[in-house]
Structure 1
Amino acid sequence: MDQIDPSMFPPGMDQDDIADAIANYYYSCTEVTATCPVEATTLGYYPNRGINIFMAIGYAVALVATLALGIRKKTWTYTGFICAGCALELAGYAARIPLTDNPWNKHAFETQIVAIVLSPTLLCISIYLTLKHVCLALNPALSRVRPHLYPFIFVPLDVSCLLVQAIGGALAASAALSNFAMVQHGNRCIIAGIVLQVVVLMFFGSSAADYFLRVKKWINSEGADPGAVALWRDKKFRTFIYVVSAAYSGILIRCIYRIAEMAGGWGNEIMQHEPSFIVLEGFMVLIPCLLLAFFPPGILFPQMAARMSAPGRVGLRRKGGEKSDAERQTPADGHESQQQAVSGDESAPSDGQVKEKPAATPAVVEPTSKGAA
């Protein structure tokens, strides 16, 4: 629009008025014609039908697998956010299928934009939950932040990034018919939200890497807890960590690509290049969804599944602000085993001894040893 000849328009119209007039005209297009060419659409091309059907099927498979295994293992929160992310991606790529016939289909275009922008945030929430449960299972005291606080730190930050993007999208949509400059401001707001999301993801990655290095050093020490060592060396647990790391990396790459895609404004050269969109947006989210679906914590990391499915959420803070036994574990000595923290006092009376107690004996007994639950 910067290269449009002003002489083509009535006298007195400046460049901004011309840009608004052109945006208004193209916004009224409903199908591809000689005066509404496909090159003038935001995408600038006819999306490939086959690849978008393939992507939609892939997300549908991930959704069904996540739901089936999540219900079976009762990892409700973790499963719920992944399912929501997969469902949005499915809706987004299903909406791109009508665009293969008519790139001017506004409802389909808006649906795919909203769905595809929102979904990675929901997937990230599930990834953020894993750090909390890994810390609780290995050694909570090695974490620089109390494990239970991780979701309360990263989830609001991630949602805030999403809200910034939503505000930008609302500004762009409300001004699409009359104010091209406002559309550009909305675009800058969207970019700011994506940049913040990348910062949050990198902050999370650095926190997880820091904890990994601290645990690795502790595991190789003489005071390491045997239960933690066994979990650290368990092939299923390590597979789960690799899966979550790969999913995190894919979503981070996608967000970085989004910055470059939006930097040039709507309809820029990168946004109108379908192969890069399919690889860096589509597959960088589809692969994490499939990995998280088929390698769930219910199978590979049962300690996490047990905490998430237990009534009252085992491991949460007790009444009165008292720390749970898992959080009391000391990092250096490792004298208290984590199995003791979970199972309670090993000196508890046997079933036969309990039966011999009088009926008036209270049901709740104050713990007398440090390991009592």
Structure 2
Amino acid sequence: MDKIDPAMIPPGMDQDDIENAIANYYYSCTQVTATCPVKATTLGYYPNRGINIFFAIGFAAAAVVTLLLGLRKKTWSYTSFIAAGSALELAGYAARIPLTDNPWNKHAFETQIVAIILAPTLVCISIYLTLKHVCLSLNPALSRVRPRLYPFIFVPLDVSCLLVQAIGGALAASAAKKDLKMVQHGNRCIIAGIVLQVVVLLFFGASAGDYWLRVKKWIKSDEADPEALALWRDKKFRMFVYAVTGAYSGILIRCIYRIAEMAGGWGNHIMQDEPSFIVLEGFMVLIPCILLACFSPGYLFPQMAARMSAPKSARESDAEKQVQPEGHESHQQTASGDESGPSDAQTHVEPAPTPVLVESKGKEGV
């Protein structure tokens, strides 16, 4: 229906009315027929059954592995967001399977659109949580932001991306039958949410990269403490960092692809290209989910796991303690030693042991 016979257009209808009438007609399609061709669907093709089954199994496996390893080590928040994102992706690709027989299946199409668009946002939250724990475990003083504040910065921003995309999807879905312009507004809202997500991801990448470079320089100096040096050289820790970096890169590529895919509107030529969707959407999310599931911090980064599983009061105390500049505690101890000498000498009148104690404390203060 690329060309419309003018004689078929009722008098008084403008261009918007015509577009809405066409959208309304196709919205009523339920099966592929001569008048409801597959090319007129949003996807424009019959999705490949095998690859969608593969993705569904892959995300199911990622969710199960995440829960098994994460719950065992009690990394509750990190585990729950990866598992939730993987489960949502599973629902999305499971919904694409019925589309392989009938691309006009509206319920399946709407389910896969919502699930696949929103799921990576949940996975991002787990990635954002890692920066705080890396900073606390290496050298909190080198971070430009207090490490405990990172989740309070990035998680709300990430949730905002999700809400903007959800609002756009709701607008598009509610107006799909009667108002094509409202559908376009919903589409722009979805694009805005994805653009915001890319900006947040780039901001996070810049923050993490800046901290990594500062630590790399510090670790080569004489000021590096043995614990941080040992962690930096630990192969398991580096494997965890590489896995998170790979996951971050995949999600970022996927979000950039989504901007290009949505920019042309529903049913544009990029959206109707299945190979690009499989590679830049499917694999760019499946690989991060598998990386985050298999390279669990509970086994590769035990400092993070121990901190996450500890009681809240202990976590806060640990965070405040570690965020103090290097040498702060030793300075306090020295000052305390200097003060305690005269104080003890003045307030405690004891037999022979007293001078010995004063002398010992005096030496410690120096």
Normalising by the smaller structure, the TM-score range is 0.7 to 0.9
Calculate the TM-score normalised by the size of structure 2. 0.87
Shift of the alpha carbon at 1:292? 0.6
For 1:31 and 1:206, how far apart are their aligned partners in 2? 48
Partner residue in 2 for 1:370: none
Q: Deviations over 1:252-301 (max 9, x none)?
A: 00000000000000000000001100100000000000011111000100
Q: Deviations over 1:276-334 (max 9, x none)?
A: 0010000000000001111100010000000011122633158xxxx72111132xxx6
Partner residue in 2 for 1:97: 97
Partner residue in 2 for 1:324: 320
Partner residue in 2 for 1:257: 257
Instruction: Give the secondary-structure state (helix, strand or coil) at the position aligned to 1:265.
Output: coil
For 2:151 and 2:6, how far apart are their aligned partners in 1? 54
For 2:236 and 2:296, how far apart are their aligned partners in 1? 10
Question: Would the alpha carbon gap of residues 118 and 59 (structure 1) be closer, same or farther in structure 2, given more than 3 Å must change?
Answer: same
Partner residue in 2 for 1:366: none
Instruction: Give the secondary-structure state (helix, strand or coil) at the position aligned to 2:314.
Output: coil
Q: Quick check: 1:6–1:13 contact (8 Å CA) kept in 2?
A: no
Match for 2:241: what amino acid? I
Q: Deviations over 1:330-354 (max 9, x none)?
A: 2xxx6869xxxxxxxxxxxxxxxxx
Match for 2:293: what amino acid? A
Match for 1:73: what amino acid? K
Q: Quick check: 1:307–1:313 contact (8 Å CA) kept in 2?
A: no
Q: Deviations over 1:138-181 (max 9, x none)?
A: 01111011111101000110111111111111111111111111
Match for 1:196: what amino acid? L
Partner residue in 2 for 1:120: 120
Match for 1:324: what amino acid? E
Q: Which has the higher helix share?
A: 2
Match for 1:128: what amino acid? Y
Match for 1:242: what amino acid? Y
Structure number with larger C-alpha Rg: 2
Instruction: Give the secondary-structure state (helix, strand or coil) at the position aligned to 1:328.
Output: coil
For 2:273 and 2:328, how far apart are their aligned partners in 1? 58
Partner residue in 1 for 2:354: none
CA RMSD across the alignment: 1.6
For 1:313 and 1:89, how far apart are their aligned partners in 2? 35
Partner residue in 1 for 2:79: 79
Instruction: Give the secondary-structure state (helix, strand or coil) at the position aligned to 1:43.
Output: coil
Question: Would the alpha carbon gap of residues 247 and 313 (structure 1) be closer, same or farther in structure 2, given more than 3 Å must change?
Answer: farther
Shift of the alpha carbon at 1:42? 0.5
Q: Are 2:280 and 1:274 equivalent residues in the alignment?
A: no
Question: Would the alpha carbon gap of residues 135 and 18 (structure 1) be closer, same or farther in structure 2, given more than 3 Å must change?
Answer: same
Partner residue in 2 for 1:292: 292
Q: Quick check: 1:69–1:298 contact (8 Å CA) kept in 2?
A: yes
For 2:96 and 2:122, how far apart are their aligned partners in 1? 21
Match for 2:219: what amino acid? I
Instruction: Give the secondary-structure state (helix, strand or coil) at the position aligned to 1:223.
Output: coil
For 2:6 and 2:17, how far apart are their aligned partners in 1? 10
For 2:6 and 2:208, how far apart are their aligned partners in 1? 55
Match for 1:9: what amino acid? I
For 1:228 and 1:263, how far apart are their aligned partners in 2? 46
For 2:168 and 2:222, how far apart are their aligned partners in 1? 54
Partner residue in 2 for 1:165: 165
Shift of the alpha carbon at 1:7? 4.1
Shift of the alpha carbon at 1:12? 1.5
Match for 2:322: what amino acid? A
Gaps of 5+ in 1: 338-373
Question: Would the alpha carbon gap of residues 314 and 3 (structure 1) be closer, same or farther in structure 2, given more than 3 Å must change?
Answer: farther
Q: Quick check: 2:63–2:293 contact (8 Å CA) kept in 1?
A: yes
| Aligned counterparts, 1:225-236, within 5 A | 225-236=225-236
Q: Equivalent pairs: percent with the same residue?
A: 81
Match for 1:325: what amino acid? K
Q: Quick check: 1:223–1:335 contact (8 Å CA) kept in 2?
A: no
Q: Deviations over 1:204-245 (max 9, x none)?
A: 000000000111111011111111011011100011000000
Q: Are 2:208 and 1:208 equivalent residues in the alignment?
A: yes
Match for 1:99: what amino acid? L
* Equivalent residue pairs, number: 330
For 2:133 and 2:12, how far apart are their aligned partners in 1? 65
Match for 2:133: what amino acid? H
Shift of the alpha carbon at 1:8? 3.1
Match for 2:9: what amino acid? F
For 1:169 and 1:7, how far apart are their aligned partners in 2? 36
